[in-house]
Amino acid sequence: MDDKIIKKSNETGEDCKTITEKYIDEFHNEMDTLNVLRPTVEPKATEHIRHIIDFIGMLIDKGKAYYVEGGDVYFSIDSFKDYGKLSGRNPEDMRAGARIAVDTNKKNPLDFVLWKPAKPGEPFWESPWGDGRPGWHIECSAMSYEYLGQGFDIHGGGKDLIFPHHENEIAQSEAVFGRQFVKYWIHNGFVDINNEKMSKSLGNFTMIKEVLETYSSEVIRMFLLSKHYRSPIDYTEDSMREVSIGLDRIYAFLERLEKAGVQIDGFKRGNLWNDFERAMNDDFNSARALASVFEAVKKGNKLLDDTSDIPDENILETLSFIYNDIKAISNILGMFLLDPQSYFRAKKDKGVADMAIDPSEIEDLILQRAKARKNKNFSRADEVRDLLCAKNIVLEDGPEGTTWRFE
RNA sequence: GGCGGCUUGGCCAAGGGGUAAGGCAACGGCCUGCAAAGCCGUUAUUCUCCGGUUCAAAUCCGGAAGCCGCCUCCA
């Protein structure tokens, strides 16, 4: 029912449903890739016209909405004394600042449309007020009533929707039911590029696809969680790279734990979990929560350093608490979900593909370097390492030989 | 014009009356043939600026500057 979709439909000849299905599919695919769980119910406005019409009917019956000659139904903001309470706006002030020509049919310039008559060439549904379609806002009140009842606990959305959309939802629902619509509003800040808001709606989803070409979904999640959800976050290559390095560090720690024989016992919870929980319970302070993970990683690395990666019974238990907690956290944040070997293998595969490098070539060079090192021919050894370094490949000499990775 | 938000080390970013988390980067040390990784240490007497309240302010109040968002029949 979005004007943009109707416009696109008229341009391409595809019907609206085909167009929206396409975007919904794309959205699903990208959310799946980002480890975003599917919602239990995803109601579509076009499948709830009946509920929407009923809802508008209730508003009219209560004297909160009115029909205007020509087919429009408007919500009367003067009939709802709390109008503006969410956004902190005063209707008087806004009336003075109105920038657009006022529709003379409205009782108050800020009244908003609940049902609008169909123009030629537009999709429409039959209604008591003539053929037409719902206005924006009403579907949220009607559908949330259908699935969640007269009021519910948490409503999310972007900051830009506070006014008018969420304000209008409150007006519609509270005008009908006379009780609190939503207990907690969660309004997220935007992802900016160069400190400017990203292009709206569909444009953002294209971005995700592009970012995924370079960074894994876990890097994207970690980037988003590195700042509080209410604040805007600026997308830059530098910050993505930094986050990616941080994620490597955490996975490297997990790998180290496994090599040291640390076991997971899913029921035990340690200090990390307490810190994490405290942070998340404080208005989803994900940045603080991530910091607690890094703190635990440092602590764990230190314990492993101190015991030369052969922890005794006691240390082993401490480490298993950390491992457990990280695993529990990973299920909440949708990160650190892979086993470390797969994580680093995937990273390697991607590097190999992106740089068009033959891994056997690298292995061969490493062999040559090993031989040179054995013969104390260190200049040759360093030469090999520099050669690989130029290709973004870092060598790490460990007790079990040399491993390599992409920087 | 109205409303809301933001400004914390080189960069990113928590904290929101009790004396500055965490990440990245840099430098020094341990380790290493040298590195890398990891660890240890150093890097903001100070939180955009100016006033005020307080025993105590990055945190509260007032003012200034800069940046961002919203104010449409856009979902």
- Is residue A288 a part of any domain in this protein? yes
Give the residue nearest to nucleotide B5 (CA to C1'): A231
- Is residue A349 a part of any domain in this protein? no
Residue A228 is encoded by which pair of tokens?
Answer: 């509080």
Domain identity same for A177 and A202: no
Among A340, A365, A385, which residue terminates a domain? A340
Nearest-5° angle of CA A73, CA A74, CA A80?
140
Closest CA to A226 of A328, A294, A157: A294
ipTM, two decimals, is 0.92
- Is residue A352 a part of any domain in this protein? no
Length A331 CA → B6 C1' (Å): 32
Chain A 310-369, CB < 7 Å to strand B: none
- Is residue A26 a part of any domain in this protein? no
pLDDT at A95: 62
Domain identity same for A244 and A311: yes
The total of structural domains in chain A comes to 3
The span from the CA of A102 to the CA of A198, in Å, is 30
Length A398 CA → B32 C1' (Å): 10
Among A188, A208, A242, which residue terminates a domain? A188
pLDDT tens digits, one per residue of A268-282: 899 999 999 999 999
Domain identity same for A392 and A285: no
Among A340, A374, A393, which residue terminates a domain? A340
Length A343 CA → B25 C1' (Å): 25
Length A195 CA → B67 C1' (Å): 9
- Is residue A215 a part of any domain in this protein? yes
The residue type at A265 = D
Q: What is the dihedral of CA A135, A140, A145, A149, to 10 degrees?
A: -160
A71 to A68, A131, A134: CA distances (angstroms): 6, 8, 11
Domain identity same for A173 and A199: no
Domain identity same for A184 and A46: yes
Domain identity same for A216 and A181: no
In terms of residue numbers, what domain contains A197?
A: 192-340
Specify the higher pLDDT residue, A161 or A8: A161
Question: In sequence order, which ranges of A194-285 are alpha helices (DSSP H)?
Answer: 202-214, 217-225, 237-259, 271-281
Chain A 69-128, CB < 7 Å to strand B: 87-90, 93-94, 97-100, 103, 112-113, 116
Residues A100, A115: contact at Cβ < 8 Å? Answer: no
Spell out the SS3 assignment of A322-376. HHHHHHHHHHHHCCCCCCHHHHHHHHHHHHHHHHCCCHHHHHHHHHHHHHHHHCC
A310 to A99, A262, A306, A340: CA distances (angstroms): 71, 10, 9, 19
Domain identity same for A222 and A318: yes
- Is residue A30 a part of any domain in this protein? no
| Mean pLDDT, residues A318-328 taken together | 95
Bases of chain B with protein Cβ within 7 A: 1-6, 11-15, 21-25, 32-40, 67-75
Where is average pLDDT lowest: A31-35, A315-319, A382-386? A382-386
